[in-house]
Each structure stands twice: as structure tokens, then as C-alpha cells.
Structure 1
Amino acid sequence: MTDYAEEQRNELEAIESIYPDSYTVLSEKPISFTINVTSDAAENGETVEATLKFTYVEKYPDEPPLWEIHDQENLEDSDMGEIFTLLQQQRSRNRG
């Protein structure tokens, strides 16, 4: 039997070590957190930023997490579409 809670806690520790300055826990039940992502200056010299919010469902990692883009700065609609597509692809690849 899978111990989902243990797997989720272990993953949170890994994420925190990878993103120590841009990671914030919002809730522990269900586990929900944000990661702030910042790019180098875009073509027009503006920095592109987004806050990605992830919420683990009860059976994560066997079921994909919920995710959304919370705050964003200097992202165009086409960029948002590409981010959603990439997240969806990763969700499909990383199940279980």
C-alpha cells in the first residue's frame, strides 16, 4: 500500500532544497505551495515573472497535482498557453 502522505512530505523537502528562496507552503492539508519563477530579461528588457501554485490531491503522485498560475508579470497570452501546455505534458509524463 502506498503511503501518499510520506511520499508527499519527501517531495516537499526536495522542492524546498531546490527552490529555497522562491518556495512558500500555503497549506499542509491538503499540501499546497507556490514557487515564484523569474526569467532573465525578455526581448524588450523586461523581467518575466510568475507564481505557480500546486496543490497535491490525496493520491498524489499516482494522480496529478492541481496547478494554476497565480500572479504574473509581463507574460503574454501566448506565453501563458505555452506554460499550461508544458505543465500538462509534465503532468502526463510524471504520473506515479
Structure 2
Amino acid sequence: MTLEEAVGYAQRGRGTRSRPSTGWDSLTPTELDVVRLVSEGLGNKDIAARLFMSHRTVQTHLTHVYSKLAVTSRVALAQEAARHG
């Protein structure tokens, strides 16, 4: 990693937020991938393997998604995803 890349990486969390804080438009690309795989019926360990992350990271993404979409379960998330289409 070059010095310029390292500075860019360190600063990427700073600045104005371009996404809303709730709703479908608030989800990150990775959160959307997790939602898609939950909708396909995969468990956290299978999702983790597909996305090359730990099952704990998948759980963290799901916690954020639940909060952003105001759902409380995988079933509710899958139903919401089907409605959102």
C-alpha cells in the first residue's frame, strides 16, 4: 500500500455521510449482499464462507440491517426483502 493509499484509507470514514441512516437506501453494498443471501435461505456460516468473512461479522451486518430496516428476525427480513424486490 502506498502512502497516498494509506492516507486515503485512514480518511475514508471522515466527511459527510451520503447515505440516509435508515431504510433500504441506508444499506451498504455488503449489507445488501448479506440480505440477499439470507433471502436465499443461507445461514450465517454459509454467508460468511460466500463473502469471505467470519460468521460474527455476518451477525454484525445483520444487527445493523435489522436496525436500519426496523425488523427483528431473519424471516421478517426475508419478507421485507421480497417486498422490496
Same topology, TM > 0.5: no
TM-score under structure 2 length normalisation? 0.29
TM-score under structure 1 length normalisation? 0.26
